[in-house]
Structure 1
Amino acid sequence: MKFNHEEEENNFSITRYESMLRSNDVKFFDSDEFESIIHHYLENGKIAKAKKAIALGLSQHPSSVNLKLLKVEVLVFENRLDKADTLLAQLHAIEPENEEVYIQKANILSKQNKHVKAIELLMMALEYTDDPADVYSLIGMEYLFMDDFENAKTNFMRCLEADDEDYSALYNVIYCFDFLDQHTEAIEYLNLFLDKNPYCEVAWHQVGKQYFDLKEYEKALAAFDFAIISDEYFIGAYLEKGKVLEKLGRYNEAIENYKITLELDDPTSFALLRIGKCHEKLGNKELAIQHYSKTVHEDPLLDKGWIAITDFYMRKRDYQKALYYINKAISIDAENVLYWKRYAKINNRLAFFEEAERGYRKALELGNYELETWLNRSDILKFLGEEDASIQCLKQAIEFYPDNAEIQYRLAGLYYQKQEYNNGELHLRKALKVDFEFHIILEELFENIFNLTIVKKIISEYQK
């Protein structure tokens, strides 16, 4: 087994430093040791400890530019930009060719939304750096902040030319292609990248995803197979392969691939859910429900799991069980619109109309302004004898659907029912103008109103 000597030294420095802090006995560390200690704390989000190490480091090495740059990094992180700027100006005077000075200054400008100026400074950093990949990546990010995806893509590509193992840059290149809806171009680029890096599992994985988006499932399947050949422990490739096999109707093979992910790592709710869906498609009802149950046990916050169980029982017309599961889901997340819509639908089927109305009301309160939700709620309120509430509901719906005949016919019926004939006629005429054929709604929901002579007379005026 080969030990990383540098890592071992860093660990020794950190252990020795923390032992010094506990004993309050100040020991000497060289500036490189302080740098590795500070980087360790910053990477682990321990800002207070990093600041203490910077202060101690500068007390022992007051002229260290690198320690001062780390101080700048912390100041920028804490949004103390003026102080960071002042320190950077001093450092620039000392070392005008230090690329980190330009990078940190660009970081400040980026935080101030001055992205063009930040890019100018990063271009200057390129002249002095030994590591252009990092700088190109930072330039790419600045272009992303400006939604300039073409230039962002170009710079992430340059980053990969300098360092073809920077997979975050590869993901960012593909993100730009995706945003620009350039799937074919993405595949061409990835194939060129794979010519140089034939066993890059990340690139094969991304090729597969592009073909999947283009609905070229056989090609997607081949790409995911290559990703798995490149790395047989690549969970993402098995998951994506499973999705493709589902699309091709090869459900047993899809299940096998999802099962491999369960063996390679802790079970994921996504894999369990997909296995359940495949079993349901194959008619294995018991195995389907077993996996849906495992899904919500694994991740109670995954709404797709609760919805899968609920819909499973709704399709079987077992509304009592469907209600039981949707109630459990709501007890975990009462702000989920999809839960309340199902809650309303199930209670409606069970003829629990007060509860159904509550479900539709809750869905509307949570921002589900679909026409069906307004109409269902108003119909239930009418059925419950709450005519005024039903009218109020439909008036709110008109704000979202001003030219909808279904709303207007309902309002006409309700106003006639309340013997407010002028309002009834007003809405009836509006409805007939928008869609004459829909007057069947009046006949279905308000038969007694539909048969009134005055109503028949108005309808006949619009008959062609």
Structure 2
Amino acid sequence: MEENFKKRNEEKELLKKYESFRENKEAFYFTSDEYESIIQNYIDQNKHRKALKAINSAIEQYPFAVEFMVLKAQTYSNLQEYGIAINILEKAGNLHPGDSDIFLIKGNIQILNGDIDEALTSFEKALESSEDKDEIFYSIGLAYQNRGDYKEAITFFKKSLEENLNNENALYELAYCLDVTGELETSISYYKEFIDKDPYSEYAWFNLGIVYNKLEKYEDSINAYEYCLAIDEKYSSAYFNMGNSLMMLKKYEQGLNAFKTTLELEGPTPEIYFSIGSVYEQMEQYDLAIRYYRKSTKLDQFYDEAWYCTGVCLGHQNKWYEAVHFFNKALKLSVENAEYWMALAEAEYKVGNVISSVDAYDEVSQLDPGNVDVWKKWSFIYHEQGDHEQAMNIIHDGLEELPDEAELFYQAVIYLIEKGHYKLAFTYLEKGLFLNYDGHTILYDHFPKLETQKALYKIIQQYK
């Protein structure tokens, strides 16, 4: 730790020295290693324009150093100026035709630029002069994956793993492609073969855990993660994924411990704070859940789901005014999220903002017209306000979207009976019973009077 601290201080001093020379327009000289440190520092801070200035100075001093040409290309790629990056690497490839890394990096940038055929050509050139082929096969797999050719991508991810069993990225992308092609179940034997070859590959166990998790075999998933952790007790991603599997089994205390261990190993991240918050929410410890959701948004103010979940917890505490505030914050970041609009609609209704609630339900109806609850709750507001006609209009709009949804027919029955339109109510009742006979019990919940229930029972029995 002391060595790391000393190294960081040296890097800071070097950067200050470089910036002082530039500011004062003094002549300066740095070794290639010092330049690499300065450039990497800027890249790590996303100061790509400053990185480019440092790279240009380095190239002036070391015009044939390929590492600075590559850094320049990667920096332009970070700025999404892919054409410039590719041109730089073409020049570098002409100067160093046997350097496979140049063609590998060029191919990866061509993928980002959407030039898949050109990328595959670059990877072929890289294969000609490279002894370490696993990263190249992995990149070829990515190229096919970006094209949507998942079968071919699987072939090359497997080739990558034949070269290097512990290529973590290839294992992960292979699992993704197998999921897309519906081959996850059959892939279990493939991962087990890997484990037979190298039972101490934490990556193989980790990815087997991912496969089991995607197949909803959560106990098997947890067992695989535990084997992974037996090999590498500091594999933080295994703790995190195991926490998610435990959550699916409603083993909240164990899930919480897994997430907290991830926090200890990785340090604070918005995702881990959010996950801890979600456990506390499931345990109905809403104050603690809110505390961790707020920690998440402090690290990432654009984490809309954390803002939303804060509002949900406040709703559980009947703090509806505060909930409205947080739902609005979530919606500013994700304006087309129907779930957020639905939550806002309910919260606005709770605080008596009927117009705002109606507007929010209107948004949900456009974003998620297949959600039966929006039509029921939206129409109920008008019904409660005494606007029977508009309530029925909303139900009719809902039935246009969901013509076979029995719940909407039963909701119409409730409104019609309350207005004394019995004949029309029976028409809707008949349709509801035809679509879902058992769903009629909601009518008894809405009409608690014994006389009404008896009358309904007699009618309903005729359709049994």
SS in 1 for 2:126: helix
For structure 1, list consecutive stretches of 5 or more residues without a partner in the other structure: 281-287, 314-320, 419-423, 446-458
Judge conservation of contact 2:412–2:428 (CA < 8 Å) in 1.
no
Deviations 1:395-448 (CA, angstroms, capped at 9, x unpaired): 543442356677679889999999xxxxx99x998997797689989x999xxx
Q: 2: distance between equivalents of 1:187 and 1:269?
A: 31
Q: Which amino acid is 1:362 matched to?
A: A
Q: 2: distance between equivalents of 1:30 and 1:107?
A: 29
Q: Which amino acid is 1:377 matched to?
A: W
User: Which of 344, 359, 362 is 2:360 aligned to?
Assistant: 362
Aligned to 1:274: 279
Q: 1: distance between equivalents of 2:348 and 2:109?
A: 56
SS in 1 for 2:97: coil
Provide closer, same or farther for how the CA distance between residues 143 and 328 of structure 1 changes in structure 2, counting only shifts above 3 A.
same
For structure 2, list consecutive stretches of 5 or more residues without a partner in the other structure: 298-305, 447-458
Judge conservation of contact 1:289–1:309 (CA < 8 Å) in 2.
yes
SS in 2 for 1:268: helix
Judge conservation of contact 2:107–2:122 (CA < 8 Å) in 1.
yes
Deviations 1:252-276 (CA, angstroms, capped at 9, x unpaired): 5555555655666557332343255
Provide closer, same or farther for how the CA distance between residues 214 and 294 of structure 1 changes in structure 2, counting only shifts above 3 A.
same
Aligned to 2:137: 136
Deviations 1:282-326 (CA, angstroms, capped at 9, x unpaired): xxxxxx345434444434625345435645x6xxxxxxx264664
Aligned to 2:55: 54
Q: 1: distance between equivalents of 2:381 and 2:174?
A: 52
Deviations 1:340-398 (CA, angstroms, capped at 9, x unpaired): 545655787x7x8x646743541331424212311332233134233453355345434
Shift of 1:113: 2.2
Judge conservation of contact 2:410–2:432 (CA < 8 Å) in 1.
no
User: Which of 295, 299, 304 is 1:298 aligned to?
Assistant: 295
The equivalences for 1:6-17 within 5 A come to 11=11, 17=18
Q: Which amino acid is 1:359 matched to?
A: S
Judge conservation of contact 1:409–1:428 (CA < 8 Å) in 2.
no
Provide closer, same or farther for how the CA distance between residues 248 and 130 of structure 1 changes in structure 2, counting only shifts above 3 A.
closer
Aligned to 1:307: 312
Shift of 1:43: 4.5
Q: 2: distance between equivalents of 1:81 and 1:413?
A: 62
75-84 or 365-374: bigger deviation:
75-84
Provide closer, same or farther for how the CA distance between residues 15 and 123 of structure 1 changes in structure 2, counting only shifts above 3 A.
farther
1:330 aligns with 2:327: yes
84-93 or 42-51: bigger deviation:
84-93
Q: 2: distance between equivalents of 1:128 and 1:136?
A: 14
Aligned to 2:46: 45
Judge conservation of contact 1:361–1:377 (CA < 8 Å) in 2.
no
Provide closer, same or farther for how the CA distance between residues 372 and 136 of structure 1 changes in structure 2, counting only shifts above 3 A.
same
Q: 2: distance between equivalents of 1:154 and 1:407?
A: 50
Q: 1: distance between equivalents of 2:95 and 2:263?
A: 56
Provide closer, same or farther for how the CA distance between residues 188 and 21 of structure 1 changes in structure 2, counting only shifts above 3 A.
farther
429-438 or 140-149: bigger deviation:
429-438
Q: Which amino acid is 2:278 matched to?
A: L
Aligned to 1:190: 191
Q: 1: distance between equivalents of 2:426 and 2:167?
A: 66
Provide closer, same or farther for how the CA distance between residues 249 and 373 of structure 1 changes in structure 2, counting only shifts above 3 A.
closer
Q: 2: distance between equivalents of 1:324 and 1:215?
A: 38
Provide closer, same or farther for how the CA distance between residues 117 and 360 of structure 1 changes in structure 2, counting only shifts above 3 A.
same
Shift of 1:115: 0.7
1:175 aligns with 2:185: no
Q: Give the structure with higher Rg (CA).
A: 1
Provide closer, same or farther for how the CA distance between residues 355 and 27 of structure 1 changes in structure 2, counting only shifts above 3 A.
closer
Deviations 1:35-76 (CA, angstroms, capped at 9, x unpaired): 554445335432212221232233334444544444444445
Q: What percentage of residue pairs aligned between the two structures are identical? A: 24
Aligned to 1:390: 391
406-415 or 181-190: bigger deviation:
406-415
Q: 2: distance between equivalents of 1:82 and 1:289?
A: 51
Provide closer, same or farther for how the CA distance between residues 51 and 132 of structure 1 changes in structure 2, counting only shifts above 3 A.
same
Q: 2: distance between equivalents of 1:32 and 1:410?
A: 73
Q: Which amino acid is 1:138 matched to?
A: S
Aligned to 2:160: 159
Judge conservation of contact 2:341–2:363 (CA < 8 Å) in 1.
no
Aligned to 1:450: none
Shift of 1:122: 0.9
RMSD: 4.9
Judge conservation of contact 2:48–2:79 (CA < 8 Å) in 1.
no
61-70 or 432-441: bigger deviation:
432-441
Judge conservation of contact 2:409–2:432 (CA < 8 Å) in 1.
no
431-440 or 184-193: bigger deviation:
431-440
Deviations 1:162-189 (CA, angstroms, capped at 9, x unpaired): 4444423332222223333333444333
Q: 1: distance between equivalents of 2:9 and 2:340?
A: 55
